[in-house]
Each structure stands twice: as C-alpha cells, then as structure tokens.
C-alpha cells in the first residue's frame, strides 16, 4: 500500500526516524518483565514484536506507564499458540489478552491498518480479518496522536517513529496524525483523547488539531455510550482534576455527561466543589490510597446529589434515579454501577445528617454499601481518607477510640537514683 492510498496523510508522510539505543533515554529496566517475556518469545519465533502506544511515550518522558501494550506481525491464532493464558477478544478486530497471575493482562495486538473509504463502504460481512491487518507503518498511521505512535524494539534497543512523535515529544505538543477534520469525523473520541493527553502531560495542542476541536466537539456526544463510559473510566484511573478542567474549558463535558456537564460548565460554584473533591481523590491516588470506581464516581457526583437531596424526604433512590435520567448522559453507566453510586450517595447523605443531628439509623450498617459510603463520607466531611481504624461509630461517639489511637503518655524520665553510700562507721 502506498501513501497515496491515504490522501489525508500526504502532508504528514515522512521517512521513518529511528533512534539507536544510545540516542534515547528509554531504560529497558523500566519495562514490565512480563511484557519483556512476551516480546522475547514472539521474537524467538521469528515475529516482529514491539512495545507501543502510551508505554513508549511515558517511558521516554520518565513517567510510569499505566499498561504495556505490544504489537506484532503474528496473527491472533499464532499468538495463542505461543502462550498458555491467552484470550482472544474483539469482534471486528481480534487481539490477544495474555493473562498473568494477580490479574495482570497484557494486550498483544497484530499490526493493523485503517480501511480506505472504498473498503469502509463494503458490507461488514465482506471485511475479513486479513483486510484489517497492516504493516508497522500503517499501524502507526491509524493511531490517534503522533506521540502514541512510537515503537520500541527491545532486541535492538531502537525507537521507531513513523509519524513524527519524537519531534512532538520534544516540542511538548499533541498532534493528531493526518488531517484532524478527517480523523475527528471518523472517530470523535479522539477529540477527548487529544484534550486528555495535553492536560495530563501539560503539552500544547498543535494548532490545526486545536482548531478542529470546537468544529467536531458535538460529534463526541454521538459516539457509542459504552465507549464514552470506558473513556470516562480512564479519567478516574489517574489524575482526574486536570483533565476534567481541560474538558470543561473545551466545552466537552456537556457532550459526555449531558446536563451534568452543562451545569459543571456554567456553574462555577458547583464545579468548584466538584474540583475540590477531585483534588482530594487525586491526592489520595498519589498517596496510594485505593478507591473503587463507584467510590470515585460517588465523590464526583456528590455536589450534584447534595442539591438533589435538599428538601427531599421521600424515596431518595427514586429521586436520584429520576434526576440522573433527566441528565441524559451520553456516556452510558452500567445499571449496577448506577445503583452502587446511588446507594453510596444516599448513605453519605444519611451519615452527614446523623453527624448534624446526633441520631442515626444504625440498621443501615448492615447495608453492603455502608463501608464504601463511609470512606466517601470521610473524604467529603474531613477532606482526607479515613484512617484505617476510624469507623462511623467512633465519629458518632458510639465506640471508644481503638487502642492504637490512644496516645500513651510519654514515659517519665527519672534521674537515676543515686545509690547512697553506706555510712562509714564512726
Ligand atoms: P494511557 O496511558 O491512558 O493508557 P494510551 O496512549 O496507552 O494511554 P490507550 O487508551 O491505552 O491509551 O490506547 C492504546 C493506544 O491505542 C493509544 O496509544 C493509541 O495509539 C491507540 N488508540 C486508542 N484509541 C484510539 C482511537 N480512538 N483512535 C486511534 N488510535 C487509538
Ligand atoms: Mg494504555
């Protein structure tokens, strides 16, 4: 396939740029040993295998990657034969998940290419998996931004750059590969991803890319709800506040979380409260305090829920459910997640009320969401995660402080007694 098959990419066609081992700072020791094992085994069987995507970008920047994705010319079936715990996933494009003990999954994907317009128009049944596989160059050009299209060859220690990602990294900019208008029209989630990378890495958005964002922003809301929800989860798996600020500044929140987004974008006071809670969450995250996804979402939605609850005495669950429906979020939250968030929010409201009035329905302690709700409540009420031995009972004065919380009085320092010298007999 020649570059002219990609009319949109004519402008960004450039010769491949390869950095030798001594010309970059990516340290092999920072790569997950299981990822190295996969690379080694694929290469041993004669396949090309590179580390790719966010991992290479992050390692070159001295950051800790979230995951280590691998790309290869081996087909999913060939990958499956080489490893014990492989699951092939994906309907249109199949890729391999290699499972490791402890729940770790490493994604191994075959080099892939974007279909041309002509190919896109054929009936889906005619699109065979073979048609979707590509060369390393094609794989680079189907990626979203240039800084994500870098490959690391662990055998030679080389960094391979087809799309100008190295230059963008050194210029600290996020640039869509190809014509931003075409790439955003193809997939508007890329708009969000551009904004995310710029915010997370404190990079500039390249001019043409930035100009296309407001033009295609509304398209974001038309993307599949489940995909938008998956992308939203990614915001909560790292530092959330800087990206939420950026999404708000670009007017994208309204296209992701509907009316919540509109309110967050127009009501500074409300968003100020959301921001403060997200800062707490981000601080807890840097201090390795683990929060579940439902706890994080409950924290995020608390300022809104608090205003929904104001003056409501009836079935809070129904009230919350109705208000959530009315928000018409484009990101579709799974039913179970919505239920969990709602349960936590309702319990938090009850805990806050109990703290005010001194009265509590202690039967609520039996609820499965009581513990997560207490953790969220503590962050909202006290601005920090609950210390491990603090319980709601203790805060309500129902239980005494655990023994380890009782500070032992400092030992009294006595001067060593002087031995009396026996009297000399007179
Ligand atoms: P993170 O640090 O958040 O994991 P990442 O760059 O690895 O960042 P992923 O969401 O894990 O992001 O995606 C892996 C890679 O897949 C990206 O680096 C990018 O090259 C490619 N990619 C993901 N989404 C898109 C998209 N919508 N269009 C084109 N390429 C994409
Ligand atoms: Mg990733």
Laid out side by side, the sheet with 17-19 consists of 17-19, 158-161, 150-153, 49-52, 69-72, 105-110, 95-99, 86-89
What CA–CA distance (Å, rounded) separates 217 from 209?
A: 12
pLDDT tens for the chain, 426 residues: list them: 333 344 445 445 678 999 999 999 999 999 999 999 999 999 999 999 999 999 999 999 999 999 999 999 999 999 999 999 999 998 878 999 999 999 999 999 999 998 877 777 778 777 787 888 999 999 999 999 999 999 999 999 999 999 999 999 999 999 999 999 999 999 999 999 999 999 999 999 999 999 999 999 999 999 999 999 999 999 999 999 999 999 999 999 999 999 999 999 999 999 999 999 999 999 999 998 899 999 999 999 999 999 998 877 778 899 999 999 999 999 999 999 999 999 999 999 999 998 888 887 888 888 889 999 999 999 999 999 998 888 888 777 777 655 444 444 444 454 555 555 556 554
What CA–CA distance (Å, rounded) separates 65 from 56?
A: 8
Task: Round to the nearest angstrom and report the end-to-end CA distance of the chain.
Answer: 118
CA of 127 to the centre of ligand 2 (A): 27
204 is a domain residue:
no
Q: Is 69 in the pocket of ligand 1 (CB under 6 A)?
A: yes
Q: Is 296 in the pocket of ligand 1 (CB under 6 A)?
A: no
252 is a domain residue:
no
82 is a domain residue:
yes
H helix intervals, 133-164: 136-141
Into how many domains does the chain fold? 2
Ligand 1: nearest atom to the Cα of 234: 3
Q: What is the DSSP letter of 124?
A: G
202 is a domain residue:
no
265 is a domain residue:
no
Both tokens assigned to 279 = 């800062």
Ligand nearest to the CA of 193: 1
**Which domain covers residue 322, as residue numbers?**
283-400
142 is a domain residue:
yes
Task: Give 218's contacts (C-beta < 8 A, 6+ positions apart).
Answer: 255
**158: domain CATH number?**
3.30.460.10
288 is a domain residue:
yes
């Amino acid at each position: 396939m020649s570059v002219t098959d990609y009319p949109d990419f004519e402008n960004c066609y450039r010769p491949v740029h390869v950095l030798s081992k001594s010309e970059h700072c990516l340290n092999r020791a920072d790569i997950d040993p299981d990822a190295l094992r996969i690379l080694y085994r694929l290469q041993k069987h004669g396949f090309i295998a590179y580390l790719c995507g966010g991992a290479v970008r992050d390692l070159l920047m001295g950051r800790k990657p979230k995951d280590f994705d691998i790309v290869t010319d081996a087909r999913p079936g060939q990958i499956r034969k080489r490893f014990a715990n492989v699951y092939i996933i994906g309907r249109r494009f199949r890729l391999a998940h290699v499972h490791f003990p402890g729940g770790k999954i490493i994604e191994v994907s075959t080099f892939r290419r974007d279909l041309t317009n002509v190919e896109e128009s054929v009936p889906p049944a005619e699109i065979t998996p073979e048609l979707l596989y590509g060369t390393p160059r094609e794989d680079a050009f189907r990626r979203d931004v240039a800084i994500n299209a870098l490959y690391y060859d662990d055998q030679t220690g080389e960094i391979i750059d087809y799309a100008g990602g190295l230059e963008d990294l050194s210029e600290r900019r996020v640039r869509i590969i190809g014509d931003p208008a075409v790439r955003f029209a193809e997939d508007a989630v890329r708009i969000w991803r551009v904004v995310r990378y710029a915010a997370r890495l404190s990079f500039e958005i390249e001019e043409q890319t930035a100009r296309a964002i407001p033009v295609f922003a509304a398209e974001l809301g038309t993307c599949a709800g489940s995909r938008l929800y998956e992308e939203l989860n990614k915001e909560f798996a790292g530092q959330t506040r800087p990206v939420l600020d950026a999404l708000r500044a670009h007017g994208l929140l309204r296209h992701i979380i509907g009316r919540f987004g509109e309110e967050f974008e127009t009501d500074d006071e409300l968003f100020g409260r959301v921001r403060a809670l997200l800062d707490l969450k981000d601080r807890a995250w840097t201090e390795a305090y683990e929060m579940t996804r439902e706890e994080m979402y409950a924290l995020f939605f608390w300022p809104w829920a608090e205003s929904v609850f104001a003056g409501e005495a009836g079935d809070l669950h129904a009230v919350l459910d109705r208000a959530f429906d009315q928000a018409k979020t484009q990101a579709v939250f799974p039913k179970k997640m919505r239920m969990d968030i709602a349960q936590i929010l309702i319990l938090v409201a009850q805990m806050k009320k109990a703290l005010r009035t001194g009265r509590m329905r202690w039967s609520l302690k039996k609820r499965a969401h009581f513990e997560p709700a207490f953790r969220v409540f503590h962050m909202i009420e006290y601005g920090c995660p609950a210390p491990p031995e603090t319980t709601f009972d203790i805060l309500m004065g129902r239980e005494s402080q655990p023994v380890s919380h009782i500070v032992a009085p400092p030992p009294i320092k006595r001067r060593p007694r002087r031995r009396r010298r026996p009297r000399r007999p007179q």
